[in-house]
C-alpha cells in the first residue's frame, strides 16, 4: 500500500485548497493507495515540511507526486536538497521518500489530455467581448518600510529557495508582518548576484544580503532584523568587492 504526497507550488485561496482536497480524495480511492496528503512547496498550508512530519509518524515509504506542468529540473533538485537538509538536522528515523516524474512524462498523458478536452466542450466558459474594459478599482500605496527580496535564480532554486520563500510567506501571514513593527513586504526576484551564497535573500532599506538561509535562518531574520532592526551578523554578507563563499 502506497503513501502519496501531492506537491503543488502554492495556494492562497479557498478555491485552490478545495481543488487540492478533491485531487487528494480521488487519489486515495485508487487501488493500492493507503494514505494521501497534499502540500505546497511555496506559500500555503500545509507546507511540505509539515506534511513530511505527519507522514513520518507512520514510518512507511512515501511517494511525492509533483502536481506541476512542466516540472523544472531545478524544482526537483530544490525539493531533494531541502529534504536532505531536513534529514540532516533531524535525529528521528526517516521513511524512504521518492519523487515521481511530472505528469507530462507519463505514458497516459495523451488519454488525460483527451478527457480534459472532452470535459472542456461541456464546461468551458466563453470569454465575452466587451466594448468598454471594466473600470479598475483604486489601490493603496503600501506604507510598509521594509522589503525582503528572495532570489529565484537557478542556483538559489536548486538550493531550495522555493521552500525558503514559502516559509517566509507563511510566517509573514502568521505573524502579521505587514502591520507589525515598521511593516514588511516580500517579493520574489530574478538573480540577486552572489550565486555562491545560495539561497540568497536581501532585506531593505539596509540592503543587507543573507546567504545560505534555511527555515531557521528565516525565523532569526524575522525576529531580529524585521522586527527589531538588528542585522543577523553570522548570516549576513557585506559587499567586500572580493569573491565570497558560504561560511562554515
What domains can you pick out in the chain, each with its CATH number?
Answer: 2-106 (3.40.50.1400), 146-237 (3.40.30.10)
User: Looking up cell 521518492, which residue turns up?
Assistant: 98
Length of the chain: 248
Question: Which is it for the CA torsion 1, 15, 17, 124, positive or negative?
Answer: positive
The pLDDT of residue 165 is 96
- Residues 121 and 98: their CA atoms lie apart, in Å, by 37
Give the residue-averaged pLDDT of 206-233: 96
Three-state SS letters, the chain? CEEEEEEECCCCCHHHHHHHHHHHHHHHCCCCEEEEEEEECCCCCCEHHHHHHHHHCCCCCEEEEECCCCCCHHHHHHHHHHHHHHHHCCCCCCCCEEECCCHHHCCCHHHHHHHHHHHHHHHCCCCCCCCCCCCCCCCCCCCCCEEEEEECCHHHHHCCHHHHHHHHHHHHHHCCCCCCCCCEEEEEECCCCCHHHCCCEEEECCCEEECCCCHHHHHHHHHHHHHHCCCCCCCEECCCCCCCCCCC
Q: For 48-99, what is each residue's pLDDT tens digit?
A: 999 999 988 888 899 999 998 888 889 999 999 999 999 998 888 999 999 9
Residue 13: CA atoms inside 13 Å, Cβ hemisphere, count? 3
Question: Which is it for the CA torsion 203, 209, 214, 217, positive or negative?
Answer: negative
Note the pTM of the prediction, 2 decimals: 0.82
The pLDDT of residue 151 is 97
pLDDT confidence bin for 217, thresholds 50/70/90: very high
Residue 152 has pLDDT above 80, yes or no: yes
User: Looking up cell 538588528, which residue turns up?
Assistant: 230
Cα separations (Å) of 8 from 39, 70, 138, 162? 6, 12, 32, 11
Residue 7, strand partner residues: 39, 66
Residue 2 has pLDDT above 90, yes or no: no
Q: For 28-50, what is each residue's pLDDT tens digit?
A: 999 989 999 999 999 899 999 99
The pLDDT of residue 17 is 92
Tell me what the pLDDT averaged over the chain comes to: 91
The pLDDT of residue 207 is 96
Rg (CA), the chain: 21
- Residues 226 and 223: their CA atoms lie apart, in Å, by 6
Residue 163 has pLDDT above 80, yes or no: yes
Amino acid at each position: 500500500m502506497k503513501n502519496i504526497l501531492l506537491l503543488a507550488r502554492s495556494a492562497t485561496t479557498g478555491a485552490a485548497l478545495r481543488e487540492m482536497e478533491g485531487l487528494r480524495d480521488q487519489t486515495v480511492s485508487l487501488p493500492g493507495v493507503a494514505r494521501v496528503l497534499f502540500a505546497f512547496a511555496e506559500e500555503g498550508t500545509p507546507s511540505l515540511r509539515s506534511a513530511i512530519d505527519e507522514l513520518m509518524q507512520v514510518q512507511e515509504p512515501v511517494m511525492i507526486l509533483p502536481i506541476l506542468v512542466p516540472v523544472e529540473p531545478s524544482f526537483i533538485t530544490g525539493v531533494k536538497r531541502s529534504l536532505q537538509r531536513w534529514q540532516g538536522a533531524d535525529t528521528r528515523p526517516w521513511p524512504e521518500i521518492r519523487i515521481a516524474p511530472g505528469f507530462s512524462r507519463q505514458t497516459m498523458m495523451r488519454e488525460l489530455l483527451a478527457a480534459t478536452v472532452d470535459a472542456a466542450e461541456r464546461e468551458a466558459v466563453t470569454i465575452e467581448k466587451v466594448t468598454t474594459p471594466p473600470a479598475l478599482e483604486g489601490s493603496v500605496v503600501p506604507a510598509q518600510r521594509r522589503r525582503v527580496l528572495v532570489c529565484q535564480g537557478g542556483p538559489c532554486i536548486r538550493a531550495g529557495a522555493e521552500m525558503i520563500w514559502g516559509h517566509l510567506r507563511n510566517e509573514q501571514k502568521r505573524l502579521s508582518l505587514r502591520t507589525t513593527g515598521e511593516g514588511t513586504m516580500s517579493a520574489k526576484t530574478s538573480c540577486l548576484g552572489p550565486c555562491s551564497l545560495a539561497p540568497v535573500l536581501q532585506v531593505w532599506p539596509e540592503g543587507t544580503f543573507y546567504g545560505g538561509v534555511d527555515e531557521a535562518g528565516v525565523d532569526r531574520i524575522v525576529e531580529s532584523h524585521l522586527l527589531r532592526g538588528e542585522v543577523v551578523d553570522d548570516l549576513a554578507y557585506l559587499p567586500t568587492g572580493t569573491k565570497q563563499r558560504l561560511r562554515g
